[in-house]
Structure 1
């Protein structure tokens, strides 16, 4: 049995605790980052806290292996005097939405092989996609994830606003969104690109721009030009 302590009370901590509770080989405990007076001992301590809190909280932990779940911070952000590592899950987490951890990539890093193998054992109790990713690679992955997830979701928000303004249900766009995400599994994103920008259809582009407010027009122009440039 592997003892795991999760520190945090946000989306990642909530989903991790639920998943580990269903794993037969994991004994899991979870505490809030505000209740660090008495920290239980554990083989692996996972800091599922905000990036800015990693250094402060980790400096107060004496457990043998302490890891954080950040995509943008290096392993050296941990300030504990014991062993360090990273247990980064490349996925978007919301408390209201269930997570299928078998589809989640686990990006692991540790200071030595023994610790890495322990983190791998922990990850395999709830997932199957395991990757050895160093801090430089993880930072690049996190930037890429912001583009494909956070920025894309903001574009969904704009699309939803346009639909609402024109009294059209946003769900009409769901099949298009689904097909786009499925297509890039077999084609490179560049080869999958369609639309007026890639066709250099200036008439359609100008027509679209006329109907957009200033902020949306800026975004439309910027992305259109990037597509034209092949970026």
Structure 2
């Protein structure tokens, strides 16, 4: 493991470099490298340099495919809900829509319309829009060219140039905020969750009555939501 861990920060290494970096005797390194190469954990090129073998890619893809994001995100969501006192959502993309796959509610007497399984278009609401913002550019532009923007709440964005500007701001700031886009008098604040490859895989959001998201509260709430989303991303192998 000491030798394999060297490849977390180095793309290619020679036996001499591995011995120097690991402080393991060269003869021991040579013996262990032979076994690692035979098992497929390392590959040797024509210059005698070693790199991680394709076996890691195979295992890595299996780990990614078998991850269920809900139990991974739930402890972070619970802490965030207790911290901010607002409903917390976990949202995935479903084709040209977003879908709520987990929700932690509050004991507020006024509850939101959201529920597990509810869908929304990618252009409306903070969770949907943060997913759209971090989608690959070509795919995002295809969506923007084809979609017809229809009103849902009183402040749903209906102008494509305004929508593009909002998406650019979300990519730059790392969060999205919406007011009365899916339901009047409510607000939602969302941040992206990335997987091990750096691709957006989900959105984490808090939502509640619009009056709870005033200008004074917003900076602190933004930081908490971004930190929570990053914590889930780290659990999924994201390391940027």
TM-score (norm 1): 0.23
**Higher RCO structure, 1 or 2 (CA under 8 Å, sep 6+):** 2
Larger radius of gyration: 2
